[in-house]
Structure 1
Amino acid sequence: MVIGGGINGTGIARDAAGRGLSVLLCEKDDLASHTSSASTKLIHGGLRYLEYYEFGLVRKALQEREVLLKAAPHIIWPLRFVMPHDKAQRPEWMIRSGLFLYDHLAKREVLPGSETISFDRHPSGAPLKAAFKRGFVYSDGWVQDARLVVLNAMAAAEHGARIVTRTACVGARREDGRWICTLQHSDGQREQVAARAVVNAAGPWVESLLKDTLQLPSPKSIRLVKGSHIVVNKLFDHPYAYIFQNPDKRIIFAIPYENDFTLIGTTDVEYHGDPGAVAIDADEVDYLCRMSNRYFNSQIGPDDVLSTYSGVRPLLDDEASNASSVTRDYALELDADVAPMLSVFGGKITTYRKLAEEAVDRLAPLLGNGKPTWTAGVPLPGGDMPNADAAAFLAASQQRYPWLPAAVLQRYVKSYGTRLATLLGSASKLAELGAEILPGVYEAELSYLVDQEWAVTAEDILWRRSKLRLHLPADAGAILDGWLAQYRAGAGLRQPELLVAGTQPG
């Protein structure tokens, strides 16, 4: 049984189910409701971690970057980052040395290496203030983070796992060599399930789950660090992203976002409140605007912010002096009792697959399972495109579905990949996708998200399964919730059944 429906929990569920283990995953809210949908949405090695000598972490992340780009080319794609050189900050030789390491710590097959550029001859120079003359360009990846979580849950389910959302684990005890866990639905109904092992992948709640719910001591501590982002109308009209060095030695990113916007973040603020109630504050908005204004000609203020989001990163507490330097590595703590318990502390989205692999490597032998690792090189749902080439798949889809509006088809391909065929079914014209519930949003897609991706509310669909909330009218959520209520009533949809982990075929 896996507790936690973020990236680590769903990754572990996928890996374990694929090795033939029987798996039940419970998540108290929607999949990716918290930390895993509030990232800067990068698949990256972590260039700045080189300053903290975390070479092992960066190498591991760079290796995983290549694996993930091939596994999910519909939701993960290459992105070139521009770093303007600020003479008052890190010297040029240091940045060049860091980029050389970044290029060579792990083998690159997909992404080009770094280079030095002059802004008077490069398209990224136009939006920048005239004081910035030169800079550097390097490669990393961009990911639709919440969709990555959902795809791992889908893959787990397709290998036999049971995924139960909006269901909290409110108690667990060891009894006769297994765990007896009490799960509570959002409607208050309770169920008991039995499992031979439990994985605590509760993210910001990993410690409280151990201490308060499981009545066990926590072998490690986490440090909650809030990261906030702002969304503004686009500040530049080219495909490059920016990484900015700031006087406080922190960095922020400015990233092309959803075609029409720029995403700016992130902050690093110690957090001591409820992880489920995290929100940006005025100081963070001001900080991100000021850091953007140091570099861009287009100046922004709080009134220009269209949307924000915040998340709490549950970082492994290494007693670093400030939040920015806390390690992004992870630790797996195994209580190898007769009924084992494995707890996940820390981690970052880029290394989730490796974390999951290591977690199952440690647990599976205790359950009599000796099957080998398998997830490296296996596409996630929708990612099985020829040569992992999303552009070629889009071109082929345009030929196959000429009746789909171009913008809708492009969004479908970048969200669902080859699962586009499942979504469209036998439709051969736009009218066969059902009513257009919102601009560009048809019933066929909505029913797919409910039936295949555990979507329950408008927020699930408009913010986590997509970013449509940024593009639609203010009343879109109310309209969609009305449709969802009618659909559930008409289709007779039920909450997923709770099954006893350890008794179902893998």
Structure 2
Amino acid sequence: MHDTLFDLAIIGAGINGAGIARDAAGRGLSVAIIDANDIGGATSSASTKLIHGGLRYLEYYAFGLVRKALAEREVLLDIAPHITWPQAFVLPHAAGMRPEWLLRLGTLLYDNLARREVVPGSQRIDLRSERAGRALSPDYRSAFRYWDGWVDDARLVVDNLKDAAARGASVLPRTPVQRAERIDGLWRLSLSDGRAITARRLINAAGPWAEDVARRVMGVNDAPPLRLVQGSHIVTRRVHMGRDAFMLQQPDGRIIFVIPYERDYSLIGTTEADIARTEDAAVSDAEVNYLLGAANRYLARPLTPDDVMHKFVGVRPLVLESGKAQKETTRDYRLVEHPGLDAMTIVGGKITTYRVLAEDVLARIAPRSKRWTADAPLPGGAIERRRGEHGQAAFKRWLEQLQVSQSDYDPNLIKRLAMTIGAPAADLLAQGLGRNLGGVFEAELDYFRRAEWASSSADVLWRRTKLGLHLDAAARAEVARWFGEERVDEADIPAGHRFARPGVL
């Protein structure tokens, strides 16, 4: 590979790096994307898993950010229908907090900041007559239901990189970059395995490590400082069997989401706590107690620590803004060009706007090329559509047809595969799934290793899928043995608990 000259080298295979790699490869650029760990192995697999504009950001007059994200919500629901869907949120009115008129004003503004195609508008509801109200204390009587989107964040990264690879990109996970040097007008990247690659341009998309990569690996000192904020989440028993999620106001002004998750569970998050180093990220007992208390302030049946089945933490790399509180710090991104070096550092951003970020990057580095990703389904969502049919409707129709045509399989198994890998599930089912290892099949594992860069049980159980929540210890051990691991280290399993630096040692 050291003889190959790439147009673009990207350090960091999280969602921003993956989106840039896909967009650039589709415009004819030769691309290499490198990460020290698994693709999407850090922040991009430890989010709250929402495609949203950020209703609460309206309080800080961030109308441009919210409008951009809401428009993108519709795009992602269309191009990735296998791993996204519209999600309803119930926002109860709570005495002593934001008044009802303000909640209604906010939801109406949210409805109208961007065009909606598949996401319904908001409405006021009476919790005493709504199914959602059964999950809440009878003290709460009125609420507003509004809509956003849900996404499997880790799979969004995988699908972007699968498309990038199909268009010629070289994807190099688990390959730290030791040094990036500017030699004779080109970038030379020395990799930990002894290889070197050369590129005309370098993109630093290392997320929480972007400042460190800029200074220590690239040798530049003009990248803006980052504010590292850890966001912890807990997964509990399902608190509500309906389809609604909840957005719950707190006395400290923050909000907490309670979201239906993986059929049997609820995802509750998130906290916001400044940390000095990425390696300091860990879910604290205080954060678990805060999230439980925040939910129990509303729930009819309180949660206890025994109801917590799983927990994970992600680190958000926010642009440091002096004098601003955590909840006021912008989630928008910044593209920092290093003058005279054909290099750029990406800071900030959110998963919802990764594709727009990639377009902005390409507008700077390949201004004569054309935008294309808004109308191009990701690989899993590349299913036949009728004229004018939205991706969500097409996927639903395709899934129903697949369940009929593969009637020898359990329909729930077909649905699980389809909502994981999307279109390739049809071929996988047709060829046979092989031995059942206790809820996961050998053909799946082979597919994840062969087509999606998985190399360990944790890659499969907690990122390519969330089967780690569903499989028992014996099945998890079978998956570990299939990958040649001697044992499963439970401390290493939860996504977001351990971070390797993307592209660096």
Contact in 1 for aligned 2:128/2:138 (Cα 8 Å): no
Question: Which residue of structure 2 lines up, in the alignment, with residue 395 of structure 1?
Answer: 400
Shift in Å, 1:298: 1.1
Residue 466 of structure 1 pairs with residue 470 of structure 2 = no
One of 40, 46, 60 as aligned partner of 2:48 = 40
Question: Which residue of structure 1 lines up, in the alignment, with residue 316 of structure 2?
Answer: 313
Residue 26 of structure 1 pairs with residue 24 of structure 2 = no
Shift in Å, 1:221: 1.6
Shift in Å, 1:372: 0.8
One of 407, 414, 424 as aligned partner of 1:409 = 414
Question: Which residue of structure 2 lines up, in the alignment, with residue 435 of structure 1?
Answer: 435
The amino acid that maps onto 1:393 is W
**What TM-score do the two structures reach when normalised by structure 2?**
0.91
Contact in 1 for aligned 2:433/2:441 (Cα 8 Å): yes
Alignment partners' CA distance in 2, 1:54 and 1:319: 17
- CA 218–17 in structure 1, closer or farther in 2 if over 3 Å, else same: same
Residue 235 of structure 1 pairs with residue 239 of structure 2 = yes
Q: Deviations over 1:309-360 (max 9, x none)?
A: 00100011122432222110010011242x4001100000000000011011
Identity across matched positions, percent:
47
One of 185, 206, 231 as aligned partner of 2:210 = 206
Residue 301 of structure 1 pairs with residue 304 of structure 2 = yes
One of 370, 382, 385 as aligned partner of 1:384 = 382
* Structure 1 residues 108-123: aligned runs within 5 Å: 108-123=116-131
* Structure 1 residues 6-85: aligned runs within 5 Å: 6-85=14-93
Question: Which residue of structure 2 lines up, in the alignment, with residue 333 of structure 1?
Answer: 336
Alignment partners' CA distance in 1, 2:16 and 2:323: 24
Contact in 2 for aligned 1:34/1:276 (Cα 8 Å): no
Alignment partners' CA distance in 1, 2:313 and 2:400: 36
Question: Which residue of structure 2 lines up, in the alignment, with residue 492 of structure 1?
Answer: none
The amino acid that maps onto 1:433 is L
Question: Which residue of structure 2 lines up, in the alignment, with residue 285 of structure 1?
Answer: 288
Question: Which residue of structure 1 lines up, in the alignment, with residue 499 of structure 2?
Answer: none
Question: Which residue of structure 2 lines up, in the alignment, with residue 447 of structure 1?
Answer: 446
Contact in 2 for aligned 1:23/1:161 (Cα 8 Å): yes
Shift in Å, 1:222: 1.1
Alignment partners' CA distance in 2, 1:34 and 1:293: 29
Question: Which residue of structure 2 lines up, in the alignment, with residue 359 of structure 1?
Answer: 361
Residue 256 of structure 1 pairs with residue 260 of structure 2 = yes
Alignment partners' CA distance in 1, 2:353 and 2:318: 14
Shift in Å, 1:436: 0.9
The amino acid that maps onto 1:376 is A
Contact in 1 for aligned 2:335/2:361 (Cα 8 Å): yes
Alignment partners' CA distance in 2, 1:302 and 1:359: 44
* Structure 1 residues 158-177: aligned runs within 5 Å: 158-177=166-185
Question: Which residue of structure 2 lines up, in the alignment, with residue 481 of structure 1?
Answer: 480
* Structure 1 residues 151-162: aligned runs within 5 Å: 151-162=159-170
Deviates further, 150-159 or 328-337: 328-337
* Count of aligned residue pairs for this structure pair: 470
Shift in Å, 1:478: 2.8
| Other structure's SS at 1:262 match | strand
| Other structure's SS at 1:376 match | helix
Alignment partners' CA distance in 1, 2:126 and 2:109: 22
Contact in 1 for aligned 2:124/2:142 (Cα 8 Å): yes
Residue 374 of structure 1 pairs with residue 372 of structure 2 = yes
Shift in Å, 1:421: 2.5
The amino acid that maps onto 1:202 is A
Alignment partners' CA distance in 2, 1:283 and 1:436: 40
Alignment partners' CA distance in 1, 2:222 and 2:264: 45
The amino acid that maps onto 2:148 is D
The amino acid that maps onto 2:413 is V
Alignment partners' CA distance in 2, 1:15 and 1:484: 32
Over 4 Å off, 4+ runs: none
Alignment partners' CA distance in 2, 1:433 and 1:419: 13
The amino acid that maps onto 2:446 is S
One of 130, 133, 138 as aligned partner of 2:141 = 133
Contact in 2 for aligned 1:319/1:326 (Cα 8 Å): no
Unpaired stretches in structure 1, ≥5 consecutive residues: 487-506
Question: Which residue of structure 1 lines up, in the alignment, with residue 495 of structure 2?
Answer: none
Alignment partners' CA distance in 2, 1:353 and 1:462: 26
Alignment partners' CA distance in 1, 2:364 and 2:219: 23
Shift in Å, 1:220: 1.2
| Other structure's SS at 1:371 match | coil
Residue 197 of structure 1 pairs with residue 201 of structure 2 = yes
Alignment partners' CA distance in 1, 2:438 and 2:280: 29
Alignment partners' CA distance in 1, 2:476 and 2:195: 31
Question: Which residue of structure 1 lines up, in the alignment, with residue 488 of structure 2?
Answer: none
Alignment partners' CA distance in 2, 1:232 and 1:219: 39
Aligned CA-pair RMSD: 1.2
The amino acid that maps onto 1:222 is L
Q: Deviations over 1:355-401 (max 9, x none)?
A: 01101111124xxxx22111111100111232312221211111111
Contact in 2 for aligned 1:286/1:301 (Cα 8 Å): no
Shift in Å, 1:308: 0.1
**What TM-score do the two structures reach when normalised by structure 1?**
0.91
| Other structure's SS at 1:331 match | strand
Alignment partners' CA distance in 1, 2:323 and 2:116: 31
The amino acid that maps onto 1:447 is D
Alignment partners' CA distance in 2, 1:304 and 1:131: 23
Q: Deviations over 1:195-235 (max 9, x none)?
A: 00000000000000011111110331210001000011111
| Other structure's SS at 1:485 match | coil
| Other structure's SS at 1:8 match | helix
| Other structure's SS at 2:472 match | coil
Contact in 2 for aligned 1:147/1:465 (Cα 8 Å): yes
Contact in 1 for aligned 2:222/2:338 (Cα 8 Å): no
Unpaired stretches in structure 2, ≥5 consecutive residues: 1-8, 486-505
Shift in Å, 1:276: 4.3
Residue 343 of structure 1 pairs with residue 348 of structure 2 = no
Alignment partners' CA distance in 2, 1:218 and 1:170: 20
Contact in 1 for aligned 2:228/2:276 (Cα 8 Å): yes
Q: Deviations over 1:68-116 (max 9, x none)?
A: 0000000010000000001210011111111111001111111100000
The amino acid that maps onto 1:435 is R
